[in-house]
Amino acid sequence: MRWFFLRFSFTRKRTSICEEGGVVHEVVERILKASIEEFSEKGYAAASTNSIAKKAKVSKGLLFHYFKSKENLYIECYKHVLSWSKKKFEEFAKQVKNEDFFEFIKKWGLQKITLAIENPVYSKFLLTVTNLSPKLRAIVLGLIREALLDSREILLEKIKSVKLRRGISEEDALKFITAVFDGVANSYLDQYRDKPEELLNNLERIMVESDKLMDLIKFGILDREPQQLHREV
């Protein structure tokens, strides 16, 4: 598995580690890799900074020199994984920029599943947010919201080309679609988390199911008479 090291900045007031040069970069990267593994394996509370230092082959002192606290270390890990996932989305958006809105969404859903399978440690790490203290969770949820802003921009731009029913805003439609696709992607991941190869073998079936899902999103589930067509919400 390849490890991506993208952008790195502290939330607290202090010099960014990036500015300290290449050698430090390498050490910090090693600590992050080890931390993400440890957190995803044990969750936040049970993760041990002792094992992280050991895995990263650094002293515990150096670890705390760079990251100050376990909490801060966790936050930096989250930023790292989010910026990886942001980069992935941007690469994807460039690749499929000529597809229509619905194809774009469908393919991104599929891409998310594939990424989660190729990076089981990352996707498991992202799940650790459910067992945090209220304070730490609030910080992390803030980071997630921020990370989603850019992709929302791209999607809102794309959805403008879709002729929506009267009374449905682009925001509403987007919220609906992402909720449906997130829900379904999560249920696939739950189902296959421990047998990823099976999921990869079933991608074709999942594509067919996605088409069905998209049809439900576009046209709803109800049979309706022509006079109901332009029913106001």
**Which residues of the shown chain bind a copy of itself in the complex (CB under 8 A)?**
42-43, 45-46, 127-128, 130-131, 134, 137-138, 141, 162-166, 168, 172-173, 176-177, 179-180, 182-184, 186-187, 190, 193-194, 212-213, 215-224, 226, 228-229, 231, 233
Which CB atom, from 91 or from 171, has the smaller least distance to a copy of itself?
171
Which CB atom, from 107 or from 137, has the smaller least distance to a copy of itself?
137
Which CB atom, from 13 or from 230, has the smaller least distance to a copy of itself?
230
Rounded to whole angstroms, how far apart are CA atoms 85 and 80? Answer: 9
Residues contacting residue 112 through CB under 8 Å, at least 6 positions apart: 185
Rounded to whole angstroms, how far apart are CA atoms 172 and 168? Answer: 6
Q: How far is the CB of 26 from a copy of itself (least distance, A)?
A: 30
Check: CB of residue 79 under 8 Å from CB of residue 35: no
Q: How far is the CB of 215 from a copy of itself (least distance, A)?
A: 5
The length of the chain, given as a count of residues = 233
Q: How far is the CB of 34 from a copy of itself (least distance, A)?
A: 18
Check: CB of residue 78 under 8 Å from CB of residue 140: yes
